[in-house]
Structure 1
Amino acid sequence: MIETSQPAGTALPAVTIRDVTLNYFSPERETLALSNISLDIAQGEFVAIVGSSGCGKSTLLSLISGLMRPSRGVIQINGKEVTAPSPRAGYMFQKDTLLEWRTVLDNVLLGPELLGLDRQASRGRAEDLLTRYGLGEFMHSLPGQLSGGMRQRAALARTLCPDPELLLLDEPFSALDYQTRLALSDEIAAILANERKTVVLVTHDIGEAISMADRVIVMSRRPGRIKSIHDVAYPSFGPSRPTPFQARKCQEFGMYFQTIWDELDAHHMQ
């Protein structure tokens, strides 16, 4: 077990990962997918994980969520060991996975239904989320009537509706065109800042990572290990945090991009 006691005045990490290793087994062989991952993620921090395909970044997200168990090591959310999926973590997948036969509102209420949460309170939160995210007039529409960006906002509202402590985002913009991705990253960054959630984003897109995250974790090729960690700041912008679109215009953006590109040997990213 991890010792979870903290020095006085020190906040407990939102996520604690210690010496996590994962092996896949098949009749033919054993495959080492992740090796000796250790990481702390602070309360309210936005962390992005980048790496080449097959490095295990999405697998790490599944381990944090409790959908998978590590072969060795321990993962905790707010000091409690992760042993199974839990409402403490909300998981947003690459595809929006909205149910086409349910209204947008009923899609957002799916999580609270499955968790057995109070229907009336959950409905009030769902309606509030949809209204604040610009989907109020569409809450009784079917998903097929929404644009791609609107569907992703609805999927985010569904993830947030049970009020999880941690948000796990697995390439949530990958199915969108480039222009929509840029616009939506600004919208979602503002939403997440307002919700004050701890966020872990997995992405192939270096620009997306460094424009949205407080820290970027670079993973090595399989077996996945933490290769480097970059604290991301934009002092040239001023004391406030730029939006993702504004960050792309800052002088620091190119420096971060080139550094991480070189570390990743980026022609192997796809």
Structure 2
Amino acid sequence: MTDEREHVECLVVHQQVSRVVETSSRFGSADGERTDAMPTESKRARIKPLRERGLMRYDQDTIYRIVDEALVCHTGYQVDGEARVVPLMHVRIGDQLFLHGSTGSRLMLAASGVGTQVCVSVTLLDALVFARAQFMHTLNYRSVTVHGQACPVTEEGEKRAVMAALLDKLARGRSADTRPPSSRELAQTAVLTIPLVEVSARIQTGGVADEPEDMALAHWAGVIPLRMTAGPAREDHSAVAVPLPDYMARYQLGESE
């Protein structure tokens, strides 16, 4: 019964992927059109402790912004009852999250056929918070957790569209400035898709929150903001020289959003 249910889930997902990828191609954007699919506060997506509920967000805009800004996700799954986590490149097209990997990887093998249950997490670190008390040190961050059935994308045109969207997420216009994958390369590439439905965001912000009795302690306290920036481009000189493209010369992380 489990395999039949997962098979049905993947059939539904494949129909959604075809619609989303077709829309993305028409609009020339990885965002596609706005859909009616909204994140749900399922038992897995909803946080239970009362002290943490103020950190949670379930609105589509917040979730999409975090997913789009992050360049890597960590995907948890099971193989023979053992929990595993692997970092992967990802891209969102409409209300679908796509994961990129090798056909020979454990995750992709586990998801072949009817797919597999996964938990995907992305995290953006914004600041280190140093308090006077060791217990009150913390991080400011934005994160998203996705639960769902990861189904393989097998249609060649859809795989090509996802790979192009992934490159354009890294640098807008990159897919048009590269050689498309050959049939052999495409066969060695696996793409999984997960509906962004059972999903939640968790956002920690703010400054030092020491207890009143610790405020007079002579220990430095404060916030160190963090951000990831791109350094200058370093050309590969092993082949024909090519002028630096404009989109690389002005490259900024997140400009493809």
TM-score by length of 2: 0.25
For the pair shown, which has the larger CA radius of gyration, 1 or 2? 2
TM-score by length of 1: 0.25
Please identify which structure carries the higher helix content. Answer: 1
